[in-house]
Amino acid sequence: MSGWTSANIPDQTGRTFVVTGANSGLGAEAATALVGAGAEVILACRNTVKADAVAQRLGPKATVAKLDLADLASVRSFAESVTGADVLINNAGLMAVPLQRTADGFEMQIGTNHLGHFALTALLLPKISDRVVTVSSGLHQLGNLQLDDLNWEKRRYNRWRAYGDSKLANLMFGLELAHRLRDAGSSKQSFVAHPGYAATELQGRTETVMDFLMKLTNKTPMVQSAAAGAWPELYAATMPGLESGTYYGPTQFFGLHGAPGRNRYKKIADDASVRARLWEESEKLTGVTFDVASAG
In the chain, where are the structural domains located?
6-295
SS3 of residue 131 by DSSP: strand
Specify the higher pLDDT residue, 293 or 115: 115
Phi/psi at 10 (nearest 5 deg)?
-65, 160
Q: Which of 142-146, 197-201, 289-293 has the lowest mean pLDDT?
A: 197-201
42 DSSP β-pair partners: 18, 63
128 Cβ contact list (under 8 Å, min separation 6)? 84, 85, 86, 87, 88, 188
pLDDT one-digit tens code per residue, 225-281: 999 999 999 999 999 999 999 999 999 877 678 999 999 999 999 999 999 999 999
Residues recognised as catalytic: 163
Give the integer Cα–Cα distance in Å for 135 and 229.
11
Q: Tell me what percent of the residues of the chain surpass a pLDDT of 90.
A: 85
Looking at 15-100, which runs of residues are DSSP E strands?
Answer: 16-20, 40-45, 62-66, 85-90
Give the integer Cα–Cα distance in Å for 55 and 240.
27
Say if residue 179's pLDDT is above 50: yes
Say if residue 1's pLDDT is above 50: no
Task: Quickly state the pLDDT bin for 212 (edges 50, 70, 90).
Answer: very low
Instruction: Give all strands of the β-sheet with 128-135 in edge-to-edge order.
Output: 62-66, 40-45, 16-20, 85-90, 128-135, 189-193, 247-252, 257-262
Global pTM reads 0.93
Give the CATH architecture of domain 6-295: 3-Layer(aba) Sandwich (3.40)
CB 171, CB 265: distance < 8 Å: yes
Give the integer Cα–Cα distance in Å for 162 and 188.
30
CA-closest candidate to residue 99, choices 46, 153, 147? 153
Task: Quickly state the pLDDT bin for 23 (edges 50, 70, 90).
Answer: very high
The whole-number average pLDDT for the span 77-88 is 98
CB 101, CB 108: distance < 8 Å: yes
Give the integer Cα–Cα distance in Å for 278 and 24.
29
